[in-house]
Amino acid sequence: MSFVAEGDREKVMHDIQHAFDSDKQFQDYQSRVLNKNGKVVTVITNMVGQIDSTGRKVLMTGTSRDISARVQAEKELNEKNEQLQLLSSYLQTIREEERSHISREIHDELGQLLTGLKMDLVWLNKRILEKDPDSTVKIKEMIEIVDETVKSVRKIATELRPGILDDLGLIPAIEWQCAEFEKKSGIPCEFINSVGDINIEKPVSTGVFRILQETFTNIARHASAALVQVELFKQKGMCNLTIKDNGIGFDNANDTKSKTLGLMGMKERAIMLGGSLEIHSKRHAGTTISLRFPTSI
């Protein structure tokens, strides 16, 4: 054992002894050893046992291959992936902050200006009603345009960042989004809340809500569903959100839809939350999106 790296000696000795005493195969075994220059390198070892007439292993022979370069490359790749995830998470946070800021600006500033403009038009209409009746018709049309513009401003602000998510939290936001989806798509949407009223951190609430929105978008565009069921429940200390539709579904293994950037983005966002996302679908049997997430990150 002298050429085995000091920190690995006890474990390697134990595992080799276990291989002698059992039917366990000693294959693809990774450990650290000292090369001829005394440098610690990582090797992968494969050994086979030789058995005597009594059926007992008396000898192990095999080879070890230096995989230090591969291990280092994997380490660097993992570090790069972690950096990319941190960067992606940071960009998502900045994006949500910008959306929230723009939404408030549109709703408050532009909304107030339009409201003021409508009040001025109403005042002007009263002043010229008796003197120039024809002009009042035009002013009424302008007031109607302002009303429609106010509705559009509120709609744009809500789509950028629903105020209900910040003001009331995730569960009311899910209820609202389900109602909005049903109203816009015409597809009945049931929401079952099995966790009651729980406190979920804002970054987590935002991520879960965006995944729900993306799922609803995919259902409306591709699923041809007649019913959508959304359920929120707790299991093994984690919150679970499932979105199930009875649409046409797709082949998880072969359908290119399962590899779209939208679904990849949803999975990546779930990882950022410290959770996971699974997609179960089958042709003509609907699709289920299962999101597991913590209440805080």
Same domain, 187 and 117: no
Same domain, 156 and 230: no
The residue among 140, 160, 180 that closes a domain is 160
Same domain, 59 and 87: no
Q: How many domains does the chain have?
A: 3
d(CA 160, CA 150): 15
Average pLDDT for the chain? 87
Domain with 177 in it: what CATH number? 3.30.565.10
Same domain, 205 and 228: yes
Q: Cβ–Cβ contacts within 10 Å for residue 60, how many?
A: 14
pLDDT > 60? residue 258: no
d(CA 201, CA 295): 6
Query: Does residue 277 fall inside a structural domain?
Result: yes
pLDDT for residue 39: 92
Residues across the chain: 297
Same domain, 81 and 184: no
- Residue 252 — very low, low, confident or very high, per pLDDT cuts 50/70/90? low
Same domain, 96 and 209: no
Mind listing the pLDDT tens digit for each residue in 12-43? 999 988 888 887 778 899 999 999 888 999 99
Same domain, 180 and 287: yes
Same domain, 168 and 286: yes
Two tokens at 276?
């996971």
**Higher per-residue confidence, 260 vs 37:** 37
Query: Does residue 200 fall inside a structural domain?
Result: yes
Strand locations in the chain, DSSP E? 26-34, 40-51, 57-66, 189-193, 228-235, 238-245, 276-281, 287-293
pLDDT for residue 254: 55
Query: Does residue 1 fall inside a structural domain?
Result: no
Helix or strand or coil: residue 292?
strand
Residues 133-161 have a mean pLDDT of 85
Residue 70 in contact with residue 44, Cβ under 8 Å?
no
Range of the domain at 150: 75-160
Share of the chain above pLDDT 90, in %: 42
Query: Does residue 10 fall inside a structural domain?
Result: yes
- Residue 50 — very low, low, confident or very high, per pLDDT cuts 50/70/90? confident
Same domain, 181 and 260: yes
Same domain, 181 and 288: yes
Same domain, 284 and 208: yes
Q: Which residues contact 254 (CB under 8 A, 6 or more apart)?
A: none
The residue among 160, 176, 208 that closes a domain is 160
pTM: 0.63
Q: Which residues contact 208 (CB under 8 A, 6 or more apart)?
A: 170, 200, 241, 273, 291, 293
Same domain, 208 and 250: yes
The residue among 66, 97, 114 that closes a domain is 66
pLDDT for residue 256: 46
Query: Does residue 211 fall inside a structural domain?
Result: yes
pLDDT > 70? residue 104: yes
